[in-house]
């Protein structure tokens, strides 16, 4: 037992019972003892990496104890106390850190990068900031369900410089979301001290700029963190709104153990050691005769025994035996596709109307579906797809957003974690870059990492031929087909668009739904008036012929058809892929085996596009059937230009006929 000195922190027990005070102490002691053990294991080479939260325990424990177990917490890498206070069995935690099957990620992600619905904890992705927007989404779900629940999310002071922090605070304030943003200001972000990170007195001052109540608390004083947070949480439950808290504390060890603390002045560390949250609280409890040596020893013995036994069982567990099938099966949540066949009544619709109708019918079918996007409410969106939606569904479900693509994609993820569905409208597909990180890192990897579905559809008005220049004309599907975990849909006709959108919304996996702007008002078709679905991964064979297979999608489909219209001597199979991920490989291979020639047409520039991959697949799977090399036709290797004549030159459309003739004469 350590010697007991006078406490350096002014504790005031207020009306807390001795039992509560001892619980606070016990809950801080547990992560501290686990960490001390981890540091020993690290020195023995038995643990690969460790992010220490020593000296910061009062924040994790105070916040977690102030919440109900049914309320979500989104911790960071130094919040072991959140996990232990929620009483996650140590065996499972240790297995997680050792990459064993009894952890939370089947060995697929390390340290605290996991969530668990069982304990209402949503762990971080490495990129730090996205946690804040995800918390907004969970808080939005709670607000809409009117269940009085509060969501707490953590960030370090370093993470507050990320755009996600600012976006998330702004959205939470505009929507008055019941979320508590907790900044742990521990003096350093990796090696960078706070004076090189921000230039204001308190980070809490930022709350004011966003219209958020904000507080600075002594993060080393467990009574202060617990009682003040509890009071605030109770107040948020009654009157939903965001609150920002800056907890002042210090990171006493290296960023992670291997990186050391050479750059931190020694006296600074010593000063904060003197303010240790546990040592000081222990002294206080002893002085008040609430904690005795006997109780203290019993606590230590109990926790140490629990640690030792959980470590033994974690080490005893077999290493994961890799199975390719299992890995591949877990990238997406398995979908139970339900075919909905419409009645016979049809109506001629433009592509844009079909998408609008499909979206409206899905809103009618799914009461838990929320639409979010810029100007989509009363204004109806820049393309008017959601015109009239507010009147039918109300502003709670059809939500105008500030211009903050990251926070909104993250909010979609949060809605999904809370069991709802989201459709996010990108005003233009080009702007998805501002929300790229959460799409490819959060949504795409969530199911694989911890079996959490990301039930989010992102609508992507895309494509050129509209003289709109480099930032309003891109067709950027290849940025996403590259990323396992995403589904990518790209219809060319109104009938397909309506049915595939319904399927996308039913699908619990993240879907990028591409809508070609130049086709919105130019392509018409008879479309069933009823709700219906179409399966993913099924291409459509639009024309059947003998001499060549034309494989394309989106606007390319119409370019191929117009070319064949003008060249009636060419007998071709035309395959409209409709969905790029999953891809209907059988349709492609079967056709090429029949015709012996393949040409792939894409609107995007060539390198790294869909055409290249399909070409490679054909070489691997159909080589013996080919009478000519596979041909790819794509737009120029430049950004897409504005002036009509430059754009026309850029586009693959003008090159297609010549390339097709060339292939046929090979
Ligand atoms: C987007 C991104 N940039 C950089 C990093 C590398 N990185 C990981 S943690 C960290 C410091 C974070 O500081 P802070 O938010 O204050 O948390 P602390 O580690 O101090 O608890 C950095 C730079 C990262 N993980 N993600």
DSSP state letters, 550-613:
EEE-THHHHHHHHHHHH-TT--EEEEE--EEETT-HHHHHHHHHHHS-EEEEEEEESTTSHHHH
Q: Are 414 and 138 in contact (CB under 8 A)?
A: yes
Please give the mean pLDDT across all residues of the chain.
Answer: 97
Residue 257: which of 413, 467, 46, 486 has the closest Cα? Answer: 46
Tell whether the model's pLDDT for residue 8 goes beyond 60.
yes
CA dist 355 and 640 (Å) reads 26
pLDDT (0 to 100) of residue 49 = 84
DSSP state of 438: I
Dihedral angle computed from the Cα positions of residues 104, 106, 108 and 110, in that order, rounded to the nearest 10 degrees: 40
630 contacts 598 by C-beta, under 8 angstroms? yes
* pLDDT bracket for residue 548 (50, 70, 90): very high
Distance 259 CA to ligand 1 centre (A): 13
To the question of pTM greater than 0.95 for the whole model, the response is yes
What is the pLDDT, as a whole number, of residue 48?
75
Q: What is the DSSP string of 135-158?
A: HHHHHHHHHHHT----EEEEEETG
Say whether 213 sits in a helix, a strand or coil. Answer: strand
Residue whose CA is closest, atom 24 of ligand 1?
A: 127
Q: Are 135 and 168 in contact (CB under 8 A)?
A: yes
Sign of the dihedral through C-alpha 131, 133, 136, 141: negative
Query: Which ligand 1 atom minimizes the distance to the CA of 186?
Result: 20
Instruction: Count CA within 13 A, CB hemisphere, residue 366.
Output: 24
Name the catalytic one among 113, 447, 472, 558: 472
Q: In terms of Cα–Cα distance, which of 222, 220, 198, 137 is closest to 413? A: 137
CB 531 within 8 A of CB 502: yes
Phi-psi region at 91: left, alpha or beta (left = phi > 0; alpha = psi -120 to 50): alpha
For residue 45, the tally of other CB atoms under 10 A from its CB is 7
Q: Are 154 and 132 in contact (CB under 8 A)?
A: no
User: Which atom of ligand 1 is least distant from the CA of 156?
Assistant: 15
Determine the pLDDT at residue 441. 98
Under a CB-based contact definition with an 8 Å cutoff, are residues 571 and 596 in contact? no
Residue 2 has pLDDT above 60, yes or no: no
What values do phi and psi take at 460, rounded to 5? -125, 85
Mean per-residue pLDDT, 21-42: 97
pLDDT (average), residues 14-30: 97
Cα 159 to ligand 1 centre (Å): 6
Q: Provide the terminal-to-terminal Cα distance of the chain, rounded to the nearest Å.
A: 86
For the segment 609-641, what is each residue's pLDDT rounded down to a tens digit?
Answer: 999 999 999 999 999 999 999 999 999 999 999
Residue 5 in this model has a pLDDT that exceeds 80: no
Nearest CA to ligand 1 atom 13: 189
Residues 499/531, Cβ–Cβ less than 8 Å: no
Task: For residue range 155-204, list pLDDT tens digits in order.
Answer: 999 999 999 999 999 999 999 999 999 999 999 999 999 999 999 999 99
Provide, rounded to the nearest whole percent, the portion of the chain with pLDDT above 70.
99
Contact 427, 461 (CB under 8 A): yes
Q: How confident is the model at residue 394 (pLDDT cuts 50, 70, 90)?
A: very high
User: CB 334: neighbour CB atoms within 10 A?
Assistant: 10
Any idea which residue has 């097709």 for tokens? 660
In testing the pocket of ligand 1, which one of 75, 190, 219, 410 has its CB within 8 Å of the most ligand atoms?
190
CA 189–ligand 1 middle distance (angstroms): 6
Reported as a single tens digit per residue, the pLDDT across 310-323 is: 999 999 999 999 99
pLDDT of residue 40: 94
Supply the residue whose CA is at minimum distance from atom 26 of ligand 1: 127
Give me the mean pLDDT over the 80-88 stretch.
98
Pocket test for ligand 1, best of 164, 189, 192 (most atoms within 8 A of CB): 189
Tokens encoding 475: 């067709």
User: Across residues 12-20, what is the average pLDDT?
Assistant: 96
Known catalytic residue: 472? yes
Q: How far apart are CA 23 and CA 12, in angstroms?
A: 16
Q: What is the pLDDT of residues 465-508, one digit of tens each?
A: 999 999 999 999 999 999 999 999 999 999 999 999 999 999 99
Report yes or no: 442 and 113 within 8 Å, Cβ to Cβ.
no
Structure tokens, 509: 């996996």
Predicted pLDDT of residue 3: 63
Q: If we measure between CA atoms, which residue out of 202, 188, 125, 197 comes closest to residue 161?
A: 197
Give the mean pLDDT of 506-518.
Answer: 98
CA dihedral 371, 372, 374, 379 (to 10 degrees): 30
Q: CA–CA distance from 101 to each of 114, 120, 140, 506, 627 (Å)?
A: 13, 20, 33, 30, 50
Residues framing ligand 1 (Cβ under 6 A): 78, 126-128, 156-159, 186, 188-190, 251, 255
Residue 253 CA, ligand 1 centroid: distance in Å: 15
Distance CA 207, CA 300 (A): 40
- Between the CA of 209 and the centroid of ligand 1 the distance, in Å, is 24
- Our mutation pick for probing the ligand 1 site, out of 78, 113, 158, counting the most ligand atoms within 8 A of Cβ, is 158
Residue 243 to residue 231: CA distance in whole angstroms: 12
- Distance, in Å, from the CA atom of 422 to the CA atom of 411, rounded to the nearest integer, reads 9
What distances in angstroms separate CA 493 from CA 355, 540, 623, one per listed residue?
10, 11, 32
Check residue 175 and report its DSSP letter: T
Confidence of residue 350 (pLDDT cuts 50, 70, 90): very high
Mean pLDDT for 137-151 is: 98
Residue owning tokens 């304030």: 173
Looking at residue 7, its pLDDT comes to: 87
Give the pLDDT band of residue 52 (cuts 50, 70, 90).
very high
Quote the ligand 1 centre to 27 CA distance (angstroms): 26
Three-state SS for 631? strand
pLDDT at 1: 52
Residue with CA at minimum distance from ligand 1 atom 17: 156
Cα(59)–Cα(632) distance, integer angstroms: 58
Q: Which residue has the higher pLDDT, 46 or 309?
A: 309
């Amino acid at each position: 037992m350590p010697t007991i000195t006078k406490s350096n922190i002014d504790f005031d027990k207020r009306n807390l019972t001795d039992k509560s005070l001892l619980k606070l102490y016990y809950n801080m002691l547990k992560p501290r003892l686990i960490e001390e053990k981890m540091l020993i294991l690290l020195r023995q080479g038995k643990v690969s990496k460790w992010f220490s939260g020593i000296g910061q325990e009062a924040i994790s424990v105070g916040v977690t104890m102030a919440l109900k177990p049914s309320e979500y917490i989104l911790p960071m890498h130094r919040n072991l106390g959140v996990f232990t206070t929620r009483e996650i069995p140590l065996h499972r935690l240790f297995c997680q850190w050792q990459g064993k099957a009894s952890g939370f990620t089947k060995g697929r992600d390390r340290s605290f990068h996991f969530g668990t619905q069982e304990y209402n904890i949503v762990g971080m992705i490495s990129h730090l900031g996205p946690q804040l927007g995800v918390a907004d989404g969970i808080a939005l779900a709670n607000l809409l369900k009117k269940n009085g629940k509060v969501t707490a999310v953590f960030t370090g002071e370093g993470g507050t410089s990320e755009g996600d922090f600012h976006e998330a605070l702004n959205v939470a304030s505009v929507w008055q979301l019941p979320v508590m943003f907790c900044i742990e200001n521990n003096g350093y972000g990796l090696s960078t001290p706070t004076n090189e990170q921000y230039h204001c007195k308190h980070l809490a001052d930022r709350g004011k700029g966003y219209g958020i109540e904000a507080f600075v608390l002594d993060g080393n004083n467990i009574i202060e963190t617990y009682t003040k947070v509890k009071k605030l949480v109770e107040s948020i439950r009654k009157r939903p709104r965001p609150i920002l808290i800056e907890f002042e504390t210090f990171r006493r060890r290296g960023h992670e153990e291997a990186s050391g603390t050479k750059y931190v002045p020694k006296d600074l560390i010593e000063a904060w050691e003197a303010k240790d949250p546990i040592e000081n609280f222990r002294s206080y409890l002893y002085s008040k005769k609430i904690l005795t040596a006997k109780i203290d020893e019993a606590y230590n013995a109990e926790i140490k025994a629990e640690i030792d036994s959980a470590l033994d069982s974690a080490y005893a567990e077999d290493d994961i035996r890799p199975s390719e099938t299992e890995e591949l099966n877990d990238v997406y949540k398995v979908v139970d596709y339900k075919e909905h066949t419409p009645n016979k009544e049809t109506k001629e619709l433009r592509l844009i109307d079909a998408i609008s109708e499909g979206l409206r019918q899905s809103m009618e079918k799914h009461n838990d579906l929320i639409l979010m996007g810029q100007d989509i409410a009363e204004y109806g969106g820049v393309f008017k797809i959601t015109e009239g939606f507010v009147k039918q569904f109300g502003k709670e479900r059809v939500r105008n957003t500030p211009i903050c693509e990251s926070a909104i994609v993250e909010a979609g993820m949060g809605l999904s974690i809370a069991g709802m569905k989201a459709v996010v409208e990108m005003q233009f597909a080009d702007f998805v870059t501002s929300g790229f990180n959460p799409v490819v890192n959060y949504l795409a990897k969530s199911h694989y990492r911890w079996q959490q579905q990301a039930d989010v559809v992102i609508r992507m008005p895309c494509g050129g031929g509209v003289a709109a220049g480099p930032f309003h004309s891109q067709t950027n599907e290849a940025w996403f087909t590259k990323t396992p975990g995403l589904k990518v849909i790209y219809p060319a006709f109104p009938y397909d668009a309506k049915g595939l959108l319904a399927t996308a919304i039913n699908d619990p996996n993240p879907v990028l739904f591409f809508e070609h702007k130049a086709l919105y008002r130019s392509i018409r078709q008879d479309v069933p008036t009823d709700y219906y679905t179409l399966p993913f991964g099924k291409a459509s064979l639009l024309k059947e012929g003998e001499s060549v297979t034309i494989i394309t999608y989106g606007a390319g489909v119409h370019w191929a058809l117009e070319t064949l219209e003008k060249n009636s001597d060419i007998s071709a199979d035309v395959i409209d892929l409709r969905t790029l991920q999953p891809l209907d490989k059988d349709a492609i291979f079967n056709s090429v085996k029949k015709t012996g020639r393949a040409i792939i047409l894409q609107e995007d520039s060539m390198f790294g596009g869909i055409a290249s991959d399909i070409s490679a697949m054909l070489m691997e799977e159909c080589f013996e059937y080919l009478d000519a090399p596979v041909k790819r036709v794509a737009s120029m290797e430049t950004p897409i230009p504005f002036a009509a004549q430059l754009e026309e030159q850029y586009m693959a459309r003008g090159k297609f006929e010549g390339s097709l003739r060339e292939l046929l004469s090979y």
